[in-house]
Structure 1
Amino acid sequence: MRAVDNLSLSVEPGQFLVLLGPSGCGKSTVLRMIAGLEDITEGELLLDGAYANDIPPHERDMAMVFQSFALYPNMTSRENIGFPLRVQDPHADRNPRVETTARMLGIEDLLERYPRQLSGGERQRVAMGRAISRRPSAFLMDEPLSNLDAKLRSYLRAEIAQLTAELGVTTIYVTHDQAEAMSLGHRVAVMRGGVLQQVSTPRELYALPENVFVAAFIGTPRINLLQAVLHAPLGHRMSIDLGRQRLPLPEPLNPDHQLLRIQQGRQIIVGLRSEAVRIAPPSQARPGEIALTGIVQHMEYQGHESLVHLDTGSTPAVVADLESPRPQSPGRGRANTGPGILTRIKDRALAQIAAPVAVLDPPQPPRERSVSAGDFVVRSWPDLRLRTGAQVPLLMDLAHLYVFDHLGRRICPAPADLPGLEV
């Protein structure tokens, strides 16, 4: 099995590129291949346009910052920061550059301490100082903040952004934390199962995900993804069947919604972010909004907002690699006639061969719904008070509606390169 498959990616000088994805998706392997720590079995690595597959790691003029800090325990911070300089020229005076680097990182008073005398954040600053002191052509950072607490991660994230901007050094940063990716990167490359899913600016990644996996991976709370069936009879109004409710699309259709007609009668995935739905009666609908209802399951108070979890009677779309299928609850006195595990594994493997970009679990047979399970999350004002079990009116903004086909590829809004239409 290939760890990374058919990856094509370019990084411009001075750019901050983030490799983002779940554990085991191949992002660290990509970083190690760039550094020369992993062999490239097929393909080419070009550095400044020159073939670089065979260049030894120490000749690539790159500095790597590891997740585990990787400091020498028997060396002081001064010696750790100056170690790459000693390797380059054992006889040169390293102190001026070490002290300049320490001032940049605010660790001048830690230079004579050993790693065991430093906190986690201080160790990470020393590790970054060791990389900076070399004045490399590129920084390679492999989840450098994952071992730190949330408050310190947020603080050092801002420091890294400011530092790399001041130095103007090309940086490739690996993380599974979308908050780091979206706040740090000029561009973000999302990976899944060794395959590059999308590379875009953070804003484009959030607003125009190319497939279901990217849509689900980016954004907090996660985008609402529901299984649906499209009805587009000739000469009649088009609608989306969500199970218990049906959403009529207004006429005339905009160009994006016109593309949905080819999906007549097919299963689709409807996506809507929580901020694109509001709790309000149909009488308050604005142009482009359609009405929906939901039953309150529970509420999360976040301080600046509340997250309302609702049951709309729909079936959530399960995204492979991000969550496991929900357990089925067979009816009383009836055998579970759902597909066996071997059949499901075979079907998923065949789907991955046909479309490696995004694959959903196959539709599940009807099941008993749990009274505590919601399928929809809506952002609302923090002082909202709703009773559990109450039915509330919702208004959905169609301008922010995402529609994906049964393989998880985005149909609406229209992708830049329209895929071939199936007949």
Structure 2
Amino acid sequence: MSLLLAGLSKRYGYGASAVEAVRALDLAVAEGEIVALLGSSGCGKTSCLRMIAGFETVTDGSITLAGRRIERLPPAARGVAMAFEGYALYPPLSVAENIGFGLARRRSRAEAARMVRDIAALLEIEDILDRRPGGLSGGQQQRASLARALARDADLHLLDEPMGQLEPQLRAVLRGRVKALIKQRGYTALLVTHDQTEANAMADRIAVMESGELQQFGTPEALRERPANLFVATFLGEPPMNVLAAEPAGDGVRLGGAAGITIVTPGITLPAGDIALGVRPHRLRLGEGPLRGTVASNQWLGDQAHVVIDFAGHLLVAVADRRVPARMGEAIAFGFAPRDVHLFDRASGAALVQGLAAP
């Protein structure tokens, strides 16, 4: 079912001490779509999820799910299933009873039992179905909470950091399984996470949030290659985007502190003022180009090299899919193509040039 958030806001407290956790959020989630709310702690993403679920009151705005306004309905009447970051399992019940809670009212006992076994096998917790939550690890409790949410037929599935307690290898496996299940059943899902790998792997589109505001909403590819502002550009990507000070110069930009180095941006008219020039680490070309720096570190991570370059006092990171024969302290040449440049207004952070980077 489709979800529409219009001007959704949440304030805690009153008067001068009030804190605005979510500010005028507009977001449209299509039926059958997985959308991730991505941001660091305190950005407002969990407050947003709790308002949709009905566990927080809405200060302003509306929530429309499957064509009906739900912001004033009690949680049980909203048609929402939620996997809680804090698990919220029922202590007296076994894992199987937690997962199947409520299923017996709509399914036969045999069918409900089969659904519990199937979802438990998917999340690799079939060996703990008879145990109670108090005797489980954090990761086991988290999978039980996720299983309970996914077992329900609901208009919307809300997943709050659903895999944050899992080991990296298991997390990587379950991301694919959970996404496949959601797509197979045609669920609409809203995922809250601070993990951009999880957001990229699972979501059709990602809403990047910071300080209670939506910064950009789009596909993972669009966010990475056409960031709307400097925050999104540097928040997404591992390692993050390299940023250098620059200023307009003729038909391009001149790098601050690098006399004579001008990056040509054909057909682009830039306003006067300070500019931030960004380049993704994997777009830096090592061993060629007009720029010179000193190797500050060179790490081989098993499948790629991360080379840190001291460039006029700025540390830049280059990523290569091969070993780079350069030692610390050695001089190194590097460069990048104009099509790989992102330009931002340094004062506002807004993107001045989008779409130059190759896909």
* Rg (Cα) greater in structure: 1
For residue 100 of structure 1, the aligned residue among 110, 115, 125 is 115
On the 8 A contact 1:82/1:95 being kept in 2, the answer is no
1:4 and 2:16 aligned:
no
Q: CA deviation at 1:199?
A: 0.4
* Cα distance in 2 for residues equivalent to 1:126 and 1:414: 43
Structure-2 change in CA distance of 1:243 and 1:66 (3 Å): same
State the match for 1:357 in structure 2. Answer: none
**Residue 380 to residue 66, structure 1, CA distance change in 2 (3 Å):** same
Matching residue of 1:334: none
SS in 2 for 1:199: strand
Residue matched to 1:39: 57
More strand by share: 2
Q: Quote the residue 1:161 is aligned against.
A: 179
- Amino acid paired to 2:84: F
Amino acid at match of 2:257: G
Alignment of 1:108-123 (within 5 A): 108-123=126-141
C-alpha distance in 2 between matches for 1:238 and 1:402: 12
Give the alignment partner of residue 354 of structure 2, picking from 389, 401, 413.
413
1:61 alignment partner, one of 79, 85, 92:
79
Partner of 1:52: 70
Q: Which residue of 2 aligns with 1:276?
A: 283
Aligned AA (2:320): S
Does structure 1 conserve the Cα–Cα contact (< 8 Å) formed by 2:253 and 2:263?
A: yes
Query: Deviation of residue 241 (structure 1)?
Result: 2.6
- Counterpart-to-counterpart distance in 2, 1:239 and 1:116: 61
Structure 1 SS opposite 2:292 = strand
- TM-score normalised to structure 1 length: 0.74
Q: Which amino acid aligns with 1:412?
A: V
Partners of 1:116 and 1:381 in 2: how far apart? 46
- 1:254 and 2:244 equivalent? no
- Mapping of 1:328-347 within 5 angstroms? none
Which residue pairs with 2:298 in the alignment?
A: 299
- Residues 133, 387 of structure 1: alpha-carbon distance in 2 compared, 3 angstrom cutoff: closer
Offset, 1:153: 1.9
Map 1:107-146; keep pairs closer than 5 Å.
Answer: 107-146=125-164
Deviation at 1:313, TM superposition (A): 0.9
* Separation (CA, whole Å) in 2 of partners of 1:159 and 1:224: 34
Q: Distance between the aligned counterparts of 2:352 and 2:312, measured in 1?
A: 24
| Partner SS state of residue 259, structure 1 | coil
1:420 corresponds to: none
The aligned counterpart of 1:186 is: 204
Query: Residues 33-86 of structure 1, C-alpha deviation per residue, up to 9 Å, x if partnerless?
Result: 111111111111111222222111100111100112222222112211122336
CA distance in 1, matches of 2:154, 2:354: 42
Compute the RMSD of aligned alpha carbons.
2.0
- Counterpart for residue 28 of structure 1: 46
Deviations 1:392-420 (A, max 9, x none): 111211101000002110001269xxxxx
Change in Cα spacing, 1:16 to 1:239, as seen in structure 2 (3 Å) is closer
CA distance in 2, matches of 1:2, 1:79: 39
Higher RCO, 1 vs 2 (CA within 8 Å, ≥6 residues apart): 1
Secondary structure of 1:240's partner?
strand
Q: What is the identity, as a one-letter code, of the residue corresponding to 2:70?
A: A
Correspondence for 1:229 among 232, 243, 247:
247
CA-to-aligned-CA distance 1:260-307 (integer Å, 9 cap, x gap): 2x22xx11111000111111234xxxxxxxx21111111121111111
User: What is the aligned length?
Assistant: 334
| Matched AA of 2:296 | Q
* Unmatched 5+ stretches in structure 1: 283-290, 315-373, 416-423
What is the identity percentage for the equivalent residue pairs of Structure 1 and Structure 2? 35
How far off its partner does 1:311 sit? 1.1
Unaligned runs of 5+ in 2: 1-18
The C-alpha deviation readout for 1:179-227, integer Å capped at 9, x for no partner, is 0011110000000000000000011111100000001111011110122
Answer whether contact 1:84 1:130 (CA < 8 A) is retained.
no
8 Å CA contact 1:17–1:189 kept in 2: the answer is yes
Query: What SS does the corresponding residue of 1:9 show, helix, strand or coil?
Result: strand
- Cross-structure match for 1:378: 318
2:252–2:266 CA contact under 8 A, matched in 1:
no
What displacement does 1:123 show?
Answer: 2.9
Show the counterpart of 1:241.
255
| Structure 1 letter corresponding to 2:53 | A
Residue 207 of structure 2 aligns to a residue in which SS? strand
Is the contact made by 1:239 and 1:248 (CA closer than 8 Å) also made in structure 2? Answer: yes
The alignment partner of 2:184 has SS state of helix
Give the whole-Å Cα distance in 2 for the aligned partners of 1:72 and 1:50: 30
